Amino acid sequence: MNYPLPNQSKKYFRSIGELENSPEFDQFLQREFPTAASEFPEGVSRRRWIQLMGASLAFGGASGCRYNREQFAEFASKPEGRVAGVPQYFTTNFEWAGRAVHVLAKCLEGRPIKLDGNAQHPIYAQSVTSEHNDGKEAKFESAGTDTFTQAAVLSLYDPDRLGSVLHRESKRGDFESSDDDQVADWTSFTAFAAEQAKSFEASKGKGLAIVFEPSSSPSWHRWLADTKAKFPEAAFVEYESVYRRNQSKAINASGGGKASSFYRLDKAKVIVSVDDNLLGSDPNSVVYARQFAMNRGPSEKQMNRLYAIESQYSITGAAADFRLAIKSSQAGLFLDRLEALIDAGKTIEGSKDEKPYNELIWQEKLDRTLQTIATDLLANKGNSLLTVGAHQEVDVQQTAIRINAKLGNFGKTWILLDIPNASQEIDTIRLDDFVHLALGTTESGKAAPAFKTAWLLVPNPVFTLAGDIALSGALENIPSVVYAADTDDETAQLADWVVPAAHPLEAWGDVRAVDGTYGVGQPQIESLRGGKSLLEIGLILSGATDVSSTQYVRNTATEIAGGSLSDRQWKEILHAGFLASSAAKPAEVKIATDKPTITAVPGAEAVKATTIDLGSDSVDELNLEIVVHPSDSVYDGRFANNGWLQELPQPITKLTWDNAAIMSIRTARKLGLKQGELVHLTQGEASVRLPVFVVPGHAEGSIAINVGYGRSRAGSVGGAVRSPKDTFTVGTNLASLRRWNQHSILTGVSAKGTSIPYKLSTTQDHFAIDDEGGMREIAARAPQLVREGTLEEFSKAKTFAKMHLHHEDSMWKEPAIDQHHAWGMTIDLNKCIGCNACVVACQAENNVPIVGKEQVSRGREMHWLRIDRYFQCDYDVTEDKGDFRDPIDPKIVQQPMACAHCETAPCEQVCPVAATVHTEEGINAMAYNRCIGTRYCANNCPYKVRRFNYFNFNQQYGYFYGWNDNREKANAKLQQLVLNPEVTVRGRGVMEKCTYCIQRVQNGKIKARATGDGLVHDGDIRTACQDACASQAIVFGDLNDKTSRVYAMQHDPRAYGLLEDLNIKPRTLYLARVRNVPRRLMTYDQINPQWNTSPDRHGSHDHSHGETGHDNSHEEAKANS
């Protein structure tokens, strides 16, 4: 048996292969989920590491973003301005899967440990909220990031990354043959590439195929264009693992040409998101979340309104003011009906005595929703936006474009840009054509295989590509395959030259932001595992070795800057992270509003009668729909070896380390399926088996699945081959059910239960449909925990969220607070969309370990910050119908929950050794080395935000419950480099929890004393979660500073403390959520809010369903007032 990790870099790393054929090695592979990320080959001491890094810094003049080139020796003399232990910040840009990321990297002793958004970047800076854009408060604007960006640093230190060039002579294929792995080096690869380039130059590139991912990088575009010029006959294959091109195709078809598009949600008063997770999985979700949050003030003048029409409950649906669940395959029909209403141009105002929305039957609900949306859109021409998910077909996209064009939204809320792209003129072929050409299969029969050589410059296509395309067969048919690999993955098995690709933080590169702004990516660290960037590899392959990637990027920058770029200007670009005023010009195009005549669109009446019928009886067992989404955690599988992302609770489901078939309760019941049961989903020939996960509010008859799981060669975290017969994977591989990736919505699916249980690890109890008592209680409590009202209610009574409390005297004396500072936090639930970025940011900042699937199932996850998710339903209606296990029109509310730093903290009272105490500034602090681990504090914490180290999660974790294992200790070395040295790494047996990022507070005070006027100004200190929050929902600051934003927010009428009736006086307050629901779509409860008249939510109702169902447990809802 063996494990195909390369035996390379003998100088620095002892190969893991030395452990081969030993039982220990076997066990080593079986440890499913080790410490922070994964393994590091034994034998690199921290000291050796520092030496290595020192050398890298010294000799890595090419990476000269940090120090001037002349500082080449060891730090015998300190570089100017550099203080050991003081972090340095550098801007950079990078991209993955075509998404540009603009970050500010925090580097400590030459290693990047934290990424945050570059707040100065125009794409973020343009979104300044109307509430506080008076300049003074501009510095509050942290840019925000998404989860993937936060977790990128962990991938950087992943020891499973490929560490050398591999040359597989006896070609690839199965597991056995990898015995023939030959470790080669860059010299031999370069020689090989030069030879190939020469021969292709002679043949004009005939027989060469270049497979690449769509990119926004101008240098990459330039390289493509250069390569095309050099090898004109070569085939250029553009492959996107998650296909998003339908929209640009539709724009093109509607007369928009090749313009790229970009939304301005901040300019939109009405946003309709049709099957589009605009705030969640959209590549620009960070920008959109910022723009969306800008008008969530709330005030009647500026508050926007978001409608979400979708099948799977997404965070956009949770954030929406109104949500309707329909099948994804019916989105087009929904839009057709909407278009008909817009064309009719009639606004429909409901009558006063209409039934409330929740009392309607399904057809009426649908009609009323369509009418209301149409009316709203018509009333906000030019101020509205209707978007459609990227996975919807071109004709659906076109309908959406037409509607927007009719509403006059183009150029206002929907911007079309003319971003220059040097590679635009290259004709690309699709991957399926590439496969056919490579195999030599044509429609007429057999032809000669077309390719001699393929360059795979795209991450792991063999895994991400669907099951219906024989890419692996095609690759076997090509004599020479070069693959730029992150790890020795599924695709690398089929390539004869595998070259290590650098992490984006290790390489030079450039990007265009979504608005066209040009930015340069500079390496933050010398390549750790000897990889090279795609651009570098591309330059080697195309024989352009005379120019370094640095120079190449600089040449591109010079070109974009208008032909000349001085050293000073170049440094300015590097410093700022972007080239000022390089944003693209709006495209001069005209969008057609007429329907294409060729496609017959079903009439609105016909649609109403036949297809859109989603009543409870419409689940057709043999004609289900499957919607394939990329995973919110591991995307298309490329982040499978990233423990932070694997353990990140997926939004809504809170599932970790797994994918599942997500469906509604009624659908599951109809199909005879139970939560956690394995189900066979079959469409035609293809079939997969995966566990059922029920979520209320999912569209009936629709099943959502996430790809990216079930990798067999991701690494020690995300899946590996242990022996020829034993492969461990995380989750289920859905390849066989995926179609050639232009189709994400599959219909005609049948489902068959197996009654085999499967253990799913969730961080929040899954929706326990077998426990009505619990569900009833949650339904009663949720409105008090996450308070919300409608905009109408808010404008009548601003203090609707305040509860009438009997303020009793406290037994406890509040700890004395320093006169200078009183730190506090507020979280605006009206802005929070539950995107999880703060959760990973906290993990990265505070060295929070991961614990693995088994420990998560034991409830031992360590996240200091979590996002609580509650389903809300109309209590009375549900009470009448008597089933809390299947709520009607459930709404989701989310609440980020971390230590609230109570003034009279219940945890402090009960600690026998005074390990958790108040600081003078009001922070509830943990003295880790005083803690003996009685866990009493955690019991007494009503928020359950304390986390206990049941094992040495940060050191080792593995088989036999973490029995001390020397190998594990050695392996922890590389991943330890990701740790933040400013935060203690907690050992076994101690309690830990949110500290309000006390290290940042201290740094802020030190900085103020050392360099400022001695005073900490509002906004100088930001917590990690605040920095990561794209929607600016989290605000931290000094409550003693009456001018601070946090002070103002704590005195907002919407402010409330969670469980404040316990009299524990939390420092973290929440601002109640305000839903801007149109009157006609309000439920009875929303029309007749109870908050401001009586403290109890379900008091004296006397409407039609008020009389029944007020039993004891209903009374309980009143009790807590």
Q: In the complex, what is the shortest distance from the CB of residue 731 to another protein, in angstroms, rounded to a whole number?
A: 23
Q: In the complex, what is the shortest distance from the CB of residue 858 to another protein, in angstroms, rounded to a whole number?
A: 5
Residue among 129, 291, 550, 949 that touches another protein (CB under 8 A): 949
The token pair at 1102 is 């006397």
CA distances from 1116 to 494, 1103, 1112, 1119 (A): 63, 20, 6, 5
Q: In the complex, what is the shortest distance from the CB of residue 828 to another protein, in angstroms, rounded to a whole number?
A: 19
CA distances from 927 to 401, 436, 846, 850, 947 (A): 58, 64, 15, 22, 14
Cα 979 from Cα 1023, distance rounded (Å): 17
Q: Is 962 helix (H, G, I), strand (E, B) or coil?
A: helix
Cα 1025 from Cα 1035, distance rounded (Å): 9
Q: In the complex, what is the shortest distance from the CB of residue 1039 to another protein, in angstroms, rounded to a whole number?
A: 24
Residue 430 or 935: the one with the smaller Cβ distance to another protein is 935
Q: Restricting to residues 868-927, which ones interact with another protein according to CB under 8 A? A: 868-870, 895, 897, 906, 908-914
Q: In the complex, what is the shortest distance from the CB of residue 359 to another protein, in angstroms, rounded to a whole number?
A: 27
DSSP classification of residue 588: -
Other C-beta atoms closer than 10 Å to the C-beta of 669 total 17
From 293-301, 368-376, 973-981, 985-993, span contacting another protein (CB under 8 A): 985-993
Residue 805 in the binding site for another protein (CB under 8 A): no
Q: In the complex, what is the shortest distance from the CB of residue 944 to another protein, in angstroms, rounded to a whole number?
A: 4
Cα 850 from Cα 608, distance rounded (Å): 50
With a CB cutoff of 8 Å and minimum separation 6, the contacts of 662 are: 312, 653, 693, 694, 695, 698, 703, 704, 705
Residue 949 or 1068: the one with the smaller Cβ distance to another protein is 949
Q: Contact 90/82 with Cβ under 8 angstroms?
A: no
Residue 204 in the binding site for another protein (CB under 8 A): no
Residue 333 or 867: the one with the smaller Cβ distance to another protein is 867
The token pair at 106 is 């925090």
Residue 781 in the binding site for another protein (CB under 8 A): yes
Q: Restricting to residues 1030-1059, which ones interact with another protein according to CB under 8 A? A: 1059
Residue among 558, 940, 1040, 1092 that touches another protein (CB under 8 A): 940
Cα 602 from Cα 330, distance rounded (Å): 12
Residue 351 or 1112: the one with the smaller Cβ distance to another protein is 1112
Residue 943 in the binding site for another protein (CB under 8 A): yes
Q: Is 184 helix (H, G, I), strand (E, B) or coil?
A: strand
Taking each helix axis from N to C end, the angle separating 218-230 and 534-541, rounded to the nearest 10 degrees, works out to: 10
Taking each helix axis from N to C end, the angle separating 331-344 and 362-379, rounded to the nearest 10 degrees, works out to: 50
CA distances from 939 to 184, 567, 827, 933, 935 (A): 57, 60, 24, 12, 7
Cα 1110 from Cα 1103, distance rounded (Å): 13
Q: Restricting to residues 1094-1113, which ones interact with another protein according to CB under 8 A? A: 1112-1113
Residue among 457, 462, 778, 1033 that touches another protein (CB under 8 A): 778
Residue 964 in the binding site for another protein (CB under 8 A): yes
Cα 751 from Cα 19, distance rounded (Å): 44
Residue 930 or 1051: the one with the smaller Cβ distance to another protein is 930
C-alpha 927, offset from chain centre: 33
Q: In the complex, what is the shortest distance from the CB of residue 629 to another protein, in angstroms, rounded to a whole number?
A: 24
DSSP classification of residue 361: -
Q: Restricting to residues 444-483, which ones interact with another protein according to CB under 8 A? A: none
Q: Which of these, 674, 753, 668, 663, lies nearest to 705 by C-alpha position?
A: 663
Residue 443 or 809: the one with the smaller Cβ distance to another protein is 809
Residue 961 or 1100: the one with the smaller Cβ distance to another protein is 961
Residue 401 or 782: the one with the smaller Cβ distance to another protein is 782
Residue 497 or 957: the one with the smaller Cβ distance to another protein is 957
Q: In the complex, what is the shortest distance from the CB of residue 296 to another protein, in angstroms, rounded to a whole number?
A: 23
From 393-401, 657-665, 929-937, 1099-1107, span contacting another protein (CB under 8 A): 929-937
Residue among 10, 198, 346, 944 that touches another protein (CB under 8 A): 944
From 577-585, 823-831, 988-996, 1046-1054, span contacting another protein (CB under 8 A): 988-996
Residue 329 in the binding site for another protein (CB under 8 A): no
Residue 855 in the binding site for another protein (CB under 8 A): yes
Residue 799 or 909: the one with the smaller Cβ distance to another protein is 909
Residue 961 in the binding site for another protein (CB under 8 A): yes
The token pair at 952 is 């040495």
Task: Count Cα neighbours of 223 within 13 Å in the Cβ-side half-sphere.
Answer: 30
Residue 20 or 771: the one with the smaller Cβ distance to another protein is 771
- The count of residues in the chain is 1121
| DSSP annotation string for 873-888 | --HHHHHHHT-TTS-S
DSSP classification of residue 715: B
Residue 466 or 893: the one with the smaller Cβ distance to another protein is 893
Is 941 buried (19+), middle (13-18) or exposed (0-12) by CB count in 10 A? buried
Cα 1045 from Cα 589, distance rounded (Å): 43
Cα 880 from Cα 1001, distance rounded (Å): 51
- Across 229-263, b (16+ Cβ under 10 Å) vs e yields ebbeebbbbbbbbbebebbbebbeebebeebbbbb
Q: Is 353 helix (H, G, I), strand (E, B) or coil?
A: coil
Q: Restricting to residues 857-876, which ones interact with another protein according to CB under 8 A? A: 858-861, 866, 868-870
Residue 470 or 1059: the one with the smaller Cβ distance to another protein is 1059
Residue among 131, 137, 418, 777 that touches another protein (CB under 8 A): 777
From 519-527, 617-625, 656-664, 932-940, span contacting another protein (CB under 8 A): 932-940
Residue 764 in the binding site for another protein (CB under 8 A): yes
**Residues binding another protein: what is the number (CB under 8 A)?**
67
From 201-209, 396-404, 449-457, 986-994, span contacting another protein (CB under 8 A): 986-994
Q: In the complex, what is the shortest distance from the CB of residue 950 to another protein, in angstroms, rounded to a whole number?
A: 3
Taking each helix axis from N to C end, the angle separating 567-576 and 549-560, rounded to the nearest 10 degrees, works out to: 100
Q: In the complex, what is the shortest distance from the CB of residue 657 to another protein, in angstroms, rounded to a whole number?
A: 17
From 111-119, 408-416, 671-679, 854-862, span contacting another protein (CB under 8 A): 854-862
Residue 773 in the binding site for another protein (CB under 8 A): yes
Residue 1069 in the binding site for another protein (CB under 8 A): no
Q: In the complex, what is the shortest distance from the CB of residue 282 to another protein, in angstroms, rounded to a whole number?
A: 27
Q: Is the dihedral of CA 1009, 1015, 1020, 1026 positive or negative?
A: positive
Residue 650 in the binding site for another protein (CB under 8 A): no
Other C-beta atoms closer than 10 Å to the C-beta of 76 total 5
Q: In the complex, what is the shortest distance from the CB of residue 1062 to another protein, in angstroms, rounded to a whole number?
A: 6
Cα 730 from Cα 848, distance rounded (Å): 21
Residue 984 in the binding site for another protein (CB under 8 A): no
Lookup result for tokens 């009790």 = 1119
Q: Contact 754/746 with Cβ under 8 angstroms?
A: no
From 419-427, 473-481, 777-785, 797-805, span contacting another protein (CB under 8 A): 777-785
Interface mask (CB under 8 A) for another protein, residues 337-376, using x and -?
A: ----------------------------------------
Q: Restricting to residues 5-44, which ones interact with another protein according to CB under 8 A? A: none
Interaction site with another protein (CB under 8 A): 764-765, 771, 773-774, 777-778, 780-782, 785, 855, 858-861, 866, 868-870, 895, 897, 906, 908-914, 930-936, 938-940, 942-944, 947-952, 961-964, 988-991, 1059, 1062, 1112-1113, 1115-1120
